[in-house]
Chains A and B, each alone.
Chain A
Amino acid sequence: MDTALIPEGRKRCPLWQFVLFIAVVGAVLLWGVYAMILCWLKGLNQTNMNNAYGFALWIWADLAVIALGGGAFFSGFLKYIIGKDELKNLINYAVIIGFICYSSALLILAIDIGQPLRGWFIFWHANVHSMLTEVAFCLSCYFAVLTIEFIPLILENRQIDKVRFFHNLSHNMHHIMAVFAATGAFLSFFHQGSLGGVAGVLFARPFGFREGVLIWPWTFFLFTWSAAACGPCFTILITKITEKVTRKKLVKDNVIELLAKISGWMLLTYIVAKIIDTWYWAVVTAPEAGFTMMDFYSNNPLYGLWILFLEIVLGGIVPALILITPAGRKNKATLLLATVLAVIGVCVNRWVMVLQVLAVPVMPFESWFMYAPSWQEVATTILPLAYGAILIAIAHRYLPIFPQEPELNPVEQQAG
């Protein structure tokens, strides 16, 4: 029925299977939309946030998806600026994943603010000293860049491409894409960093505060670094999941291995910097404020040294060592394990830099603040996942995202 829309030389599942998938995931999406509407109509009393937890699950989700969406800017940087041409076979997908991540982040922010109709105040009454202002500007600009990068992909749809104007537009946009990739990389370096700065500048919150250079705390650089390291891991992971779901090889191993290798070295250097940062914070910064490191990891039901181990060792050192080793990244199982661990590592980092910062008691006569999200918060956090799955399904079905797909999956052979 929709054969005319499917890219030439590519085989897709029957329409009923596709519709069934969209319907099931769409039900989850509607659940999230219902929760979102509840939050907008009734207010943030629908959440389990409170005056101790001004930031909670949503801000973590925001920081996490932006870090994971970092694969778009870093792959673009590697392909267009550094000249790693093999990545042209993965860049389209990286852009789509980035687009999903960033649009999700903006949606979550729109739900998270107490007065959504005043959201534009962040631009109109901008306080240039606030890290959140920098985040808002760079995030919006970069989302515009991602949209521009996504448009030529949409224009490559078989039917749209038949229109001469769209064909030429797509062709010309591809030619100038390096400019947007460079702009995107520039913007991303700043907003990824600003997100790190959000907790790093809180000089009255000893768990989050970091010293730094000029106006930028060390977390500014660590967040950019970790997004550049783990974002590509997420791109690889989603590509592997897509290959599993579609039961097709979509990208050649050498492309994946190249990105995995770069990601591995980025992760290794990042984790060394992160260990130095943690060590300096534990022995200098925190004691200056009257805290020992164990004050942040004891006397509470959740946050122990295990979380530091999970983030740095399991989510950092282990995947880095796997990815920098040729045997590690050539083996499908260890490659998958490394990408999963790297994604967990960066998500845990974002969690502690949002939630644990607020959980730690600062006044000596207070105790730890614990929090569990409400179903509305969970549903609205799952919403972007459902939206992402649907967008990927539609994009994969109707757009030629993977240039190597026809070569890796000849239609005649499959038919035979």
Chain B
Amino acid sequence: MKKAQEHTAPKKYGMVIDLDKCTGCGACMAACMAENNVPFREDETDKNLSITWLRVYKLTNGKKFPNADVCYLPRPCMHCEGHHGHSPCVSVCPATATDYSYDTGIVSQIYTRCFGCRYCMAACPYHVRYFNWWDPVWPEGMEKMLSPNVSVRTRGVVEKCSFCFHRYQIAMEKVRYEGRAELAEDEYQTACTQACPANAITFGDLNNHDHAVYKLKTHPDAFRLLERLGTNPKVYYISSREWVRRQGDNYLENEGKVVAKAH
């Protein structure tokens, strides 16, 4: 038991999403909402007021038929590492209500400490942070279906994707109980990863040679969103289409063809 509690090598949980496989079905979004007790309202027409920890964007190449092409891009929290954990949102929170874990690489949100200044939302270029403009109201009977592992959030605080951190905690409890030191790859997987019918999402420890994401992130077609800003995100995307990779970041006209970098 004691051995199991010794400090293990720091992990860096991350995701690789194959955009060529994603069909835009939205199963990941639905799974995320159910898993994390994400509130919703009767009228969700204004997407700028909706809470979608994982949002699927529709990208187009802007060309007309027969050259038109579409790509669906699922966007969870990027869990940016920035420069040595200096992620855009963590450093600006005045009440230390969001934190970067050097043990897991996960950016957490402490709902009971957040006082709703929304500075973190202003800091995040990916729009992964959502404010609870209303108190959550569940359709009658649905409150019995809420996950007991995730606290519901009150009006006036910010929330975001946690890479299903409660699943990590539950898995680690089991590991410690069994006297092991390390989690196996399949013992901690996010809800969206498991829900994706096309297996487009792969999740694991980016530092661990045995995890699939370790190899996938070095795929020649792998890229990250807005890398140039120095956010150092932990979500990678793969696409064989150059126009999709080009939409992953901003480029000046004279910067030419985008060549995906190995990481």
Contacts and interface: CB of A to CB of B under 8 A. Distances in A.
B156 interface: yes
Given A43-B155, A290-B250, A362-B125, A130 B119 contact: yes
Given A363-B225, A364-B247, A364-B250, A54 B119 contact: yes
Interface string A277-313: 0000000000111111001000000000000000000
A126 B247 CA distance: 38
A119 B123 contact: no
A395 to B, nearest CB: 32
Interface string B92-115: 111111000000000000000111
A122 interface: yes
A198 interface: yes
B67 interface: no
Interface stretch (B129-137, B163-171, B172-180, B198-206): B129-137
B188 to A, nearest CB: 28
Contact of A364 (B131, B156, B249): B249
A45 B126 CA distance: 22
A125 B95 contact: yes
A363 B96 CA distance: 27
Nearest to A55: B122
Contacts of A127: 91, 93-96
Contacts of A114: 114-118, 131-132, 155-158
A365 interface: yes
A131 B92 contact: yes
Contact of B229 (A49, A132, A204): A204
B142 interface: no
Contact of A122 (B95, B246, B249): B95
B10 interface: no
A119 B156 CA distance: 12
Contacts of B225: 363
Contact of A115 (B120, B122, B124, B156): B156
Interface in A117-155: 118-119, 121-122, 124-127, 129-133, 136
Contact of A126 (B46, B82, B94, B114): B94
Contacts of B95: 118, 121-122, 124-127
The binding surface of chain B is classed by DSSP as loop
Most buried by B among A51, A198, A202, A369: A51
A205 interface: yes
A43 B135 contact: yes
A125 B135 CA distance: 24
B131 A51 contact: yes
Contact of B115 (A113, A131, A292, A366): A113
B131 A54 contact: yes
Contact of B48 (A50, A119, A357): A50
A202 B113 contact: no
Nearest to B135: A43
A205 B250 CA distance: 12
A52 interface: yes
B92 A50 contact: no
Given A132-B117, A290-B251, A50 B122 contact: no
Nearest to B225: A363
Given A115-B114, A132-B117, A205-B122, A51 B157 contact: no
A365 B118 contact: no
A127 B96 CA distance: 5
Nearest to B132: A114
B121 A121 contact: no
Nearest to A120: B115
A358 interface: yes
Nearest to A362: B125
A292 B252 contact: yes
Most chain A CB within 10 A, of B80, B116, B135, B231, is at: B116
Contacts of B49: 50-51
Contacts of B48: 50-53, 369
A131 B251 CA distance: 30
24 contacts: A51-B51, A51-B130, A51-B131, A114-B117, A114-B118, A115-B115, A115-B154, A115-B156, A118-B95, A118-B116, A122-B94, A127-B93, A127-B96, A203-B82, A203-B229, A204-B124, A204-B125, A204-B231, A205-B122, A290-B255, A292-B252, A358-B122, A362-B229, A363-B126
